[in-house]
Structure 1
């Protein structure tokens, strides 16, 4: 009985932590950072230049971190203090860049389009349609429907739109890899000129990929958020700020409870849909419903902080939420939740996993500790980031492992293969085999 109830309690705890702890802290950080920039930059340069400066700074830092992923990924995990200082400095700077990027786009649109019902609704609809056509609607998700833990392995990595990447080959030479070929040099022989040409072309593709991911997809996400936020401003008690804030908070959390409760039938429906287009539409509709809750939670927390947290000392209030939000999230090892980075595609996971939200906190670290204890290997170095498909809704956690609609067949085959290698007397238990076993059990 305990084994049936424990997964439910862990999953429920993850949802509660995401909704009641992580989400308010992330909103507090964003609110403080955004309004601190307002307080210093607007009086200094005025409109619209402050928006363009924020945009230039934010996009530049974001692009630099995207382009330097291969080098940042070489950061040593030991000593722990060195990695901790480097990674948290990265998060602190990247967080400021993300806020400035969003603030810049937001302010520039305010100045260029104006804040009118037609402009807000039109930009919102156009950006949402563009995201739907490019299968990137899920990038509008944010806490409480997303929790990003500060895992050492892959701390600096995030996916780009075309999944182009640069890595270091085993022989120490730089090699360019794309999703089309693991070794593009094989098709062009061994000549230095051919390799240099292929490497240059793939590097150009990598830069273009980063630009599209950050500038195009990232900007569309901001436009959707801005339009939705302004529409709620007009519809929900526009003449009564406090009522409007409390209304947003109550509405947002009500939608969040409804969406999390609806995941069981949503997962079952997506798992049974054979037509890819219908499955994609269902997933996008479910994600958009969660987005309606997310916007209202953010707007409610943000405006209530403005109203009730040191209203007579706004600059102190903003600095307080900026610092406290960041430090507490770092202490909780989920400060990466403040970052807006990477491009994910709708319906990327198999079957019903595409509508399960990546809300893992206790389960992530519990699984990590369990793996380290069972295999005698430092969990921080061997633990792979848990995929979104492993996230379980509380109401379905008891039967998740038994459901053939949620688990994919290729994962079962990989796990079976890993167990065969482990139990075979003829196959030595090398570090590579051990790593494969661990990854097989994780995925």
Structure 2
């Protein structure tokens, strides 16, 4: 019986890394075995790979897509793509449990097989691409709306007050996101590194989470 995706979807997925001397092997608590590699070496390898391989590729995809939108700006007005990015994100957030559940057992399940496995891989890549587009539209739309507001307040782009206004907006937004305890969301590649898979693809964290692992069902006495 496949696991209930609704129970797994909001489980804690972050791993806590502790600094281990490089000469000592890592200990896998889940399997109760010692790995050959050291945690330090693994962390350094991830950092180097993220910085010099993953980050440039991520930036290239984002900047290339952004540039296409700039070339056809009449097809991507700021307000519309900003709202569309929000709608797509919300739809994926609501449907991620279903997407994860249907992807379980694509190869080894009762109805699984090579055909279904291949279809799930194609679907996951399409999902990722659409999600990427929604993120870029959200960023570009918000960025464009901010530029529009600044241009309305200070029309002259040579006005020395325009940089001050940008700085005021930036400081205000940063203070706000810090008070909301969400400043970590400013981090991106190369600080975050994920590999493709069912859960990393369909599961993404949201601000409001609840888990059932810390609660127990107590039946009242008869």
TM-score tier, shorter chain, comes to: 0.5 to 0.7
TM superposition score normalised by structure 1: 0.35
Q: Shift in Å at residue 54 of structure 1?
A: 1.6
Cα distance change, pair 100–36 in 1 and its aligned pair in 2 (3 A): same
Pairing 1:99–2:145 present: no
Kindly indicate whether the alpha-carbon contact (under 8 Å) linking 2:84 and 2:137 is maintained by their aligned counterparts in 1.
yes
Q: 1:129 to 1:2 in 2, by over 3 A?
A: closer
Q: Report what 1:90 is aligned to.
A: 127
Query: CA 1:152/1:121 → structure 2, altered by over 3 Å: closer, same or farther?
Result: same
Give how far 1:155 is off.
Answer: 2.8
Q: Which runs of 5+ in 1 are unaligned?
A: 165-176, 188-443
Q: 1:69–1:157: 8 Å Cα contact kept in structure 2?
A: yes
Contact in 1 for aligned 2:103/2:198 (Cα 8 Å): no
Summarize the Cα distance change of 1:153–1:23 in structure 2 as closer, same or farther, 3 Å threshold: same
Superimposed CA distance per residue, residues 112-168 of structure 1 (whole angstroms, 9 cap, x where no aligned partner): 12372122111111111111111111110011111122122353122221215xxxx
How do 1:152-191 residues align onto structure 2 when only pairs under 5 Å count? 152-153=198-199, 155-164=201-210
Report the alpha carbon displacement of residue 82 of structure 1 after superposing the two structures with TM.
2.2
Q: Deviations over 1:7-28 (max 9, x none)?
A: 2433322111000000000000
For each residue in 1:317-338, what CA deviation from the matched residue of structure 2 results, as whole angstroms up to 9, or x when unmatched?
xxxxxxxxxxxxxxxxxxxxxx
Match of residue 66, structure 2, among 10, 31, 34 = 34
Question: Which of these residues, 77, 82, 96, is aligned with residue 69 of structure 1?
Answer: 96
Deviating beyond 4 angstroms after TM superposition, the runs of 4 or more aligned structure 1 residues are 1-5, 177-183
Partners of 1:73 and 1:154 within 8 A in 2: no
CA deviations over 1:237-266 (Å, ceiling 9, x no partner): xxxxxxxxxxxxxxxxxxxxxxxxxxxxxx
SS for the counterpart of 2:202 is: coil
Alignment match, 1:140: 186
Query: Residues 163 and 179 of structure 1 are in contact (CA less than 8 Å); yes or no, is this contact kept in structure 2?
Result: no
CA apart distance, 1:178: 7.4
Can you give the 5+ residue segments of structure 2 that lack an aligned partner in the other structure? 1-21, 26-35, 108-116, 152-156
Show CA shifts across 1:50-82 (max 9, x none): 111221221111111011122222122313212
Aligned length: 168
Q: Deviations over 1:338-377 (max 9, x none)?
A: xxxxxxxxxxxxxxxxxxxxxxxxxxxxxxxxxxxxxxxx
Q: 1:130 aligns with which of 176, 180, 193?
A: 176
Matched, 1:12 2:44: yes
Decide whether aligned partners of structure 1 residues 67 and 178 sit closer, same or farther in structure 2, where only a CA change above 3 A counts: farther
Q: Deviations over 1:303-327 (max 9, x none)?
A: xxxxxxxxxxxxxxxxxxxxxxxxx
Q: Select the structure that is richer in helix.
A: 1
Could you tell me whether the CA contact under 8 Å between 1:163 and 1:178 is conserved in 2?
no
Look up the SS of the partner of 2:102 in the other structure: coil
1:167 aligns with none
Are the aligned partners of 1:54 and 1:104 in contact in 2 as well (CA < 8 Å)? yes
Q: Tell me the TM-score normalized by structure 2.
A: 0.67
- Aligned residue for 1:75, secondary structure, equals helix
CA RMSD in angstroms comes to 2.8
The separation in 1 between residues aligned to 2:122 and 2:194, in whole angstroms, is 18
Cα distance 1:58–1:178, how it changes in 2: closer, same or farther (>3 A)?
A: farther
CA pair 15-59 structure 1, distance change in 2 beyond 3 A: same
